[in-house]
Amino acid sequence: MPMSTAPAAAPVGIGWRQPHYDAVLAQRPAVGFLEVHSENFFAEGGVSLAVLEAGRAAYPLSLHGVGLALGSAAGLDGLHLERLARLVQRMQPDWVSDHACFARVGSGLHAADLLPIPFNDESLAVMLRHVDQVQQRLGRQFLVENLSAYVGWQGDTLAEPEFFNLLTARSGCGLLLDVNNLFVNARNQGLAPEAAAQEAMRWIDAIRPGSVGEIHLAGHCERDDGWVIDDHGSVVRDEVWQVYAHARKRLGPVPTLIEWDTDVPELAVLLAQAEQARAVAA
């Protein structure tokens, strides 16, 4: 499945969360697309699905999942995939995505978190098998997001960008590049903000440009105990904007999303962040 060609001026979208359902439908702000979490709309009917259909009628749509657990050696949850497939068929989104993580173990235990995978050949084989299963069921290209991780695995044999280069080249899937995750991971490795930004840029330089199908931008929290948490609860930091500018120079016009999931502000704040993304890209 070939990579979709991005338009000359790639759209900038916003995460569409419940506090802004009414305002977006009433005001119809000038955003490039809306993104929602797929699992919130798995029901066969109801008010939420009706709202999503109204949003889809007005804007391009991105379905972003948090539950497929693509890196789980226990395999995919078939019911979850079927529900996603029905939603995709109904909404015909422009993009569909989930994370490079594991969550399922044993005979159906599912962690309520996005847990990191090792970067080695065995893990790559699991991801390739599951991404192929998803793409075959959906009948379309799928995007896989790089993770913000607070623990790691010993004995990794592949650098993370190399892992994603192999995954996208062999499966035909695309990379959903989360720029904030790159910065957060570098900060949690003990790097100062400027050094963390440079490390994130080197990560981006190692990625095949044609493999990136979408970019995510978000805020993060720097805690007093030294941990940096990818909480999607504030404006994008200056250093992350610098990394984004570098990404756009290297990758070209890629659709970009402003994520905001906790302490959701007024809609005008998200729209201002989207406008800043357009300005940085220009």
The domain ranges of the chain are 12-281
Residue 139 confidence (pLDDT)? 98
Question: Residue 265 pLDDT more than 90?
Answer: yes
Question: Residue 111 pLDDT more than 80?
Answer: no
Mean pLDDT of the chain: 94
Residue 93 confidence (pLDDT)? 98
Q: Tokens 């790559």 correspond to what residue?
A: 124
Which has the closest alpha carbon to 59: 7, 14, 8, 9? 14
Q: What are phi and psi of 69, to 5 degrees?
A: 55, 60
**What's domain 12-281's architecture?**
Alpha-Beta Barrel (3.20)
The structure tokens listed for 125 are 């084989």
* Distances, alpha carbon 76 to alpha carbons 108, 129, 171, 239, in Å: 10, 10, 17, 36
Q: What is the pTM of this model?
A: 0.94
pLDDT in tens, 221-231: 999 888 999 99
Of 103-107, 153-157, 182-186, the one with minimum mean pLDDT is: 103-107
pLDDT in tens, 25-65: 999 999 999 999 999 999 988 999 999 999 999 999 999 99
Identify any residues that bridge with 177 across adjacent strands, giving them in sequence order.
Answer: 215
Residue 1 confidence (pLDDT)? 40
The structure tokens listed for 121 are 């050949």
